[in-house]
Amino acid sequence: MRQSFELVFASSNKNKYKEAGQILRQFGIRLKFYNFSPTEIQSDLIHKIAIKKALDAYARCKKPVIVEDVGLFVKSLGGFPGPYSSYVYKTIGNRGVISLIKRNRSAQFLSVIAYCDHKKRPVAFEGITNGSISTKPKGGGWGYDPIFIPKGRNKTYGQISDKNQISHRYRALENFARWYCRRQSSGR
């Protein structure tokens, strides 16, 4: 019989939690939401931010926990907004990002999922989806969904129904889930 595990997902973003819950269910992992707004460190490395978030989240909830940090990297902008994606979304938004891009529209979404438990040695897993930035916002979704077109498609994340099968979040969570389930089964 397939084992089932329960984990805490610490975030202030319910959209991320909903998507992560749907994705991890396929791997036999159920998620509980823990509302958590970390004081984000200023770093140009998404991995560093995620690791620090995981330690802080564990210190608060005292249960095995995962957190996520995401960056949208636009090639012709030298990787901007990258680790500043959240601030840039809140300030200039999707239309602001579009207006900055004059040439190559290639972009990449990076998700880092970090896991932490009582050992306090966080482990990070990354997922990347390549794509491009649309010339105007299209479709629904949340955050940058209306402007990100995954490679091989001609529609934005906000216009497709299978985002959770191809997204940066899916890829990072798949890496995490394979590691976590193996580790749980081996009793370590």
Sorted by sequence, the CB contacts under 8 Å of residue 162 that are 6+ apart come out as: none
Q: Check if 145 is active-site.
A: no
Q: Which of 56, 69, 145, 162 is catalytic?
A: 69
Does 143 participate in binding ligand IMP (rule CB under 6 A)? yes
Residue nearest to ligand IMP (CB): 143
Among 7, 8, 13, 17, binds ligand IMP (CB under 6 A): 13
Considering only residues 98 through 137, tell me which ones interact with ligand IMP, judged by CB under 6 A.
none
Shortest approach of ligand IMP to residue 177 CB, angstroms?
Answer: 17
Give the count of alpha carbons within 13 A of 186, CB side only. Answer: 7
Of the candidates 102, 85, 82, the residue with the CA atom closest to the CA atom of residue 144:
85
Among 157, 170, 176, 180, binds ligand IMP (CB under 6 A): 157
Shortest approach of ligand IMP to residue 170 CB, angstroms?
Answer: 10
Of the candidates 105, 112, 97, the residue with the CA atom closest to the CA atom of residue 54:
112
**How many residues are given for the chain?**
188
Contact 123, 130 (CB under 8 A): no
**Closer CB to ligand IMP, residue 29 or residue 129?**
129
Q: For 134-150, give the secondary structure using H, E and C.
A: CCCCCCCCCCCHHHEEE
Q: What is the DSSP letter of 80?
A: T
Q: Using CB atoms within 10 Å of the CB of residue 129, give its burial: 0 to 12 exposed, 13 to 18 middle, 19+ buried.
A: buried
- Identity of the amino acid at 42: Q
Considering only residues 35 through 94, tell me which ones interact with ligand IMP, judged by CB under 6 A.
68-70, 72, 85-86, 89
Shortest approach of ligand IMP to residue 119 CB, angstroms?
Answer: 24
Shortest approach of ligand IMP to residue 70 CB, angstroms?
Answer: 4
**Chain residues that interact with ligand IMP, rule: CB under 6 A:** 13, 68-70, 72, 85-86, 89, 142-145, 157, 167, 169
Which residues are known catalytic residues?
69
